[in-house]
Structure 1
Amino acid sequence: MNTRMPSFSRRAVLRSASSAVAATTSLAACGRGAAPSSSGPPASTSAAPSGARSATATPSAPPGTSPRRFPGSPRQIEHGPRDGHGVALTFHGQGDPKLAGAVLSEAERSGARVTVLAVGTWLDEHPEMARRVLDGGHELGNHTMRHRAVCAMPPADAYAEITECAERLRRLTGGIGSWFRPSQARTATRLVTRMAQRAGYPHVLSYDVDSHDFEDPGPDAVRDAVLDRVRAGSVVSLHFGHGGTRAALPAILDGLHRRGLRPVTTTELMT
């Protein structure tokens, strides 16, 4: 796979964005391995991708909406330091906003802070959720615009998925979000990682604990999937929009507390 960052013409990016809008949104789960793109880059020119400047401009971003660089950390982060007491509970942001709000409220009651990776179409439908996340002391990130298999998309389309969601976040919060996580992939390809960096995200956020809550196995199974694998520094993948996740959260938070582990935002985990 070609890992060089392709250049794009304005026409190529506009054409890819138009085709992305016409396609059907995928609702598949995110816990699958990244698939390499089988398509080569579009015809290249010396022009930068359309929208790159606006997506990365965050001069007045409030706390929690701008990415940070963590020197010495890999470009793709699966977990934080193992010698502390923090863990990061990360939620893929889409689904019923009332259920999402209930999850956030439960976390807040226990003093936990979480990271929400929002899907752009979800922000379009429920723009109030961006402020709800940040006002609760949590952090907000980018989970692509339409939740498609971004690592298997042609380069221009994949870049548009990242930057269009970044633009939604910028409009709503003043910044592009603290983190980028690829949709329908546990890890990003090298090309998608470089695209994310160009869009303004120094690191791609993966995870080392998969709750499999998107399969709706029941609250007990979600609880066990997390508590059987979590340890200091873990990044846990969870999802809004699933009743079993909401039901399992009190037991997860209690289990972490009993082990002396503290749920913090991913930025705090890495600091």
Structure 2
Amino acid sequence: MERPDRHPFLIVSGPRSEPRVALTFHGQGDPSLSVRLLSLLEAGGARATVLAVGTWLEEQPQVARRILSGGHELGNHTMHHDDISTLPAEQAFAEIADCAAVLRRLTGSPGRWFRPSQARDCTPALAALARRAGYVHCLGYDLDSLDFTDPGPATITRTVLDGVRSGSVVSLHLGHPGTVTAVPAILDGLRARALQPVTMSELID
């Protein structure tokens, strides 16, 4: 696991002075949609960060390899995607640690990033559990695409492009057809704004 560095534990955005953004995806759902989305990102010269659900990775281990082979980054979004803030401490810890174990088994690393399930930010209690599991960062976001509500690709695109700026960390989801359809237009809009989509590590390091 990464050693503590100069960045804060909770990260919700990157430097505003650099023309880069991070597209981050909550990872679960139809694997064929995920592969199609990854291919669209790559065709557009973009790299993303996927925070994956452990049970999804266990069912679709090939997706973990596909994410990494495309130059994207893979992190922890808990084992079962329950509302982690409502769980007893030891159960919440197991959600983080069990997903980390799956990531380590499939890729050799638990990933740099932890994002709590069904919660935007880490509470102090969750932060303590994530640190106990070995994570030195909790990944939030400053721009929510609301794509999980399936508002349609045009609305997803507009929400992202209306709110994005240098350093933005955008929350998106795998497994939603509208998000897949929106990706080319989002990438075109970022390009028009001279913003490069990069992984979270590239955004902050």
Q: What is the aligned partner in structure 1 of residue 133 from structure 2?
A: 199
Q: What is the aligned partner in structure 2 of residue 270 from structure 1?
A: 204
Alignment partner of 1:90 is 2:24 = yes
Runs of 4+ in 1 over 2 A off after TM superposition: 66-70
Q: In the alignment, is the contact (CA less than 8 A) between 1:147 and 1:184 conserved in 2?
A: yes
Change (3 A) 1:97 1:68: farther
CA distance in 2, matches of 1:69, 1:78: 17
Q: What is the aligned partner in structure 1 of residue 5 from structure 2?
A: 70
Q: In the alignment, is the contact (CA less than 8 A) between 1:219 and 1:245 conserved in 2?
A: yes
Change (3 A) 1:259 1:182: same
Q: In the alignment, is the contact (CA less than 8 A) between 2:112 and 2:137 conserved in 1?
A: no
Match of 1:114 among 35, 48, 56: 48
> Counterpart of 2:120 in structure 1: which amino acid?
R
> Counterpart of 1:153 in structure 2: which amino acid?
L
Deviation of residue 68 (structure 1)? 5.8
> Counterpart of 2:79 in structure 1: which amino acid?
M
Q: Percent identity?
A: 59
CA distance in 2, matches of 1:252, 1:196: 32
Deviation of residue 67 (structure 1)? 4.2
Unaligned runs of 5+ in 2: none
Q: In the alignment, is the contact (CA less than 8 A) between 2:143 and 2:170 conserved in 1?
A: yes
Matches within 5 A, 1:1-271: 67=2, 69-71=4-6, 73-271=7-205
CA distance in 2, matches of 1:104, 1:70: 29
Q: In the alignment, is the contact (CA less than 8 A) between 2:9 and 2:137 conserved in 1?
A: yes
Say how many residue pairs are matched: 205
Unaligned runs of 5+ in 1: 1-65
**Could you say what the CA RMSD is over the residues aligned between the two structures, in angstroms?**
0.9
Question: With structure 2 as the length reference, what TM-score do the two structures score?
Answer: 0.98
Q: What is the aligned partner in structure 2 of residue 36 from structure 1?
A: none
Q: In the alignment, is the contact (CA less than 8 A) between 1:87 and 1:235 conserved in 2?
A: yes
> Highest relative contact order (Cα 8 Å, sep 6+), 1 or 2?
2
CA distance in 1, matches of 2:52, 2:132: 19
> Counterpart of 1:173 in structure 2: which amino acid?
T
Query: Which of the two has greater helix per residue?
Result: 2
